[in-house]
Amino acid sequence: MVQSFRLHNMTTATPTPTTTATASMDIAIGGMTCASCSGRVERALKKVHGVQEAAVNLATESARIVYADGEQMQARLRRAVRDAGYEVRTPAQVDALESVSPWAGVGPVAMGAILSAPLALPMVGDLFGQHWMLPAWLQFLLATPVQFILGARFYKAGWHALLSLNGNMDLLVSIGTTAGWALSVWLWLSAPDGAMVHLYFEGSAVVITLVLLGKWLEARAKRQTTAAIRALHALRPDVAHWLGRDGEVDVPVADVLVGDRIAVKPGERFPVDGTLQEGTTEADESMLTGEPLPVRKDLGDKLTGGSINGEGRVVLQVTAVGVDTVLARIIRLVEDAQAAKAPIQRLVDQVSAVFVPVVLVLALATLLGWWLTGHPFETAVIHAVAVLVIACPCALGLATPAAIMAGTGVAAQYGILIKDAQALEQAHKVDVVAFDKTGTLTVGRPRLSALLVPDATAKAEVLRISASLQSGSEHPLARAMLAAAQEKGVAITAPQQLKAVPGCGTEGELDGRHYSIGSLRWMDELGVSLGPLATQSAALQAEGATVSAMAERTAHGLILRALMAFDDEPKPGASEALAALRARGIHVVMISGDNRGAAEAMGRRLGLNPEADEVMAEVLPGAKAALVAKLKAGGGVKPGSHTVAMVGDGVNDAPALAAADVGLAMGNGTDVAMYAAGITLMRGDLALVAAALDISDRTVAKIRQNLFWAFAYNVAGIPLAAFGYLNPVVAGAAMALSSVSVMTNALLLKRWKPRQ
Task: Render pLDDT for 361-415 as a digit per residue (tens, 0 to 9).
Answer: 999 999 999 999 999 998 999 999 888 888 766 777 778 888 888 888 888 888 8
Q: Which CATH class name applies to 236-327?
A: mainly beta
pLDDT, tens digit, 9 for 90 and up, residues 131-144:
677 888 999 999 99
Q: Are 651 and 634 in contact (CB under 8 A)?
A: no
pLDDT of residue 263: 94
Q: Quick one: what percent of the chain has pLDDT higher than 90?
A: 24
Pairing state of beta strands 615-616 and 587-591?
parallel
522 Cβ contact partners less than 8 Å away, ≥ 6 residues apart: 501, 504, 505, 516
Write b or e for each residue in 52-79: b if 16 or more Cβ atoms lie within 10 A of its Cβ, otherwise e.
eebbbbbbbbbbbbebebeeebbebbbe
Q: Tell me: pLDDT of 99 over 70.
A: no
Return the ∠ at Cα 194 (arms to 190 and 196), rounded to 5°.
Answer: 75
Q: Give the Å distances, CA to CA, from 109 to 30, 96, 116.
A: 19, 21, 10
The conformation of residue 688, written as its DSSP 8-state character, comes to H
How many C-beta atoms lie closer than 10 Å to residue 720's C-beta?
Answer: 16
Q: Which of 729, 753, 733, 705 is nearest to 123 (CA)?
A: 729
**If residue 647 lies in a helix (H) or strand (E), which one and from where to where?**
strand 644-648
- pLDDT band of residue 32 (cuts 50, 70, 90) is confident
pLDDT in tens, 447-466: 888 888 876 567 888 888 88
Which one is catalytic: 260, 273, 436, 653? 436
Exposure letters 111-120 (e unless 16+ CB within 10 A, then b): bbbebbebbb
Q: Class for domain 7-98, per CATH?
A: alpha beta
How far are the Cα atoms of 1, 439, 500, 504 from residue 622, in angstroms, in the given order? Answer: 40, 18, 14, 11
pLDDT tens for each residue of 262-298: 999 998 999 999 999 999 898 888 767 666 678 888 8
Cα angle at 127 between 123 and 128, to 5 degrees?
A: 120
Does the pLDDT value for residue 491 go beyond 90? no
The per-residue pLDDT for range 60-95, each reduced to its tens digit, is: 788 989 999 888 899 999 999 998 889 999 887 877
Name 497's bridge partners.
none
Q: Identify whether the C-beta of residue 674 lies closer than 8 Å to the C-beta of residue 418.
A: no
* DSSP three-state, residue 228: helix
Strands 679-681 and 416-418, bridge-based pairing: antiparallel
Most confident listed range (95-99, 143-147, 181-185, 711-715)? 143-147
558 in Cβ contact with 530 (< 8 Å): no
Q: Which three-class secondary structure state does DSSP give residue 177?
A: helix
**Residue 13: exposure state from Cβ atoms within 10 A (0-12, 13-18, ≥19):** exposed
Neighbours of 18 (CB within 10 A): 5
Which residues contact residue 95 at a Cβ distance below 8 angstroms, ignoring those fewer than 6 apart? 1
Q: In Å, what is the CA distance from 552 to each residue of 456, 513, 531, 534, 620?
A: 14, 7, 14, 17, 23
Q: How far apart are CA 35 and CA 664, in angstroms?
A: 32
Q: Are 282 and 259 in contact (CB under 8 A)?
A: no
Alpha helices by DSSP H, listed for 99-168, are 106-127, 136-145, 152-163
User: Facing residues of 303 across strands?
Assistant: 274
Q: Tell me which residue of 692, 688, 669, 686 sits closest to 607, measured CA to CA.
A: 686
Active site residue 436: yes
Query: Beta strand pairing status for 247-252 and 557-567?
Result: unpaired
Q: How confident is the model at residue 10 (pLDDT cuts 50, 70, 90)?
A: very low
Q: pLDDT at position 575, please?
A: 93
Q: Where are the domains of the chain?
A: 7-98, 236-327, 417-443+571-694, 447-567
* Residue 334 CA neighbour count, 13 Å, CB half: 32
Helix and strand numbers (H, E) in the chain are 26, 27
CA distances (Å), origin 152, targets 145, 148, 218, 487: 10, 5, 19, 79
pLDDT tens profile 193-209: 766 677 888 878 888 88
Residue 1 is predicted with a pLDDT of 37
The pLDDT of residue 342: 67
Instruction: Name the H helices within 414-548.
Output: 421-427, 459-469, 476-488, 520-526, 534-542
**Residue 500 CB coordination number (10 Å):** 15
If you count them, how many residues does the chain have? 756
- Tell me the CATH architecture of domain 447-567: 3-Layer(aba) Sandwich (3.40)
Domain 417-443+571-694: assigned CATH number? 3.40.50.1000
Instruction: Report pLDDT for 7.
Output: 36
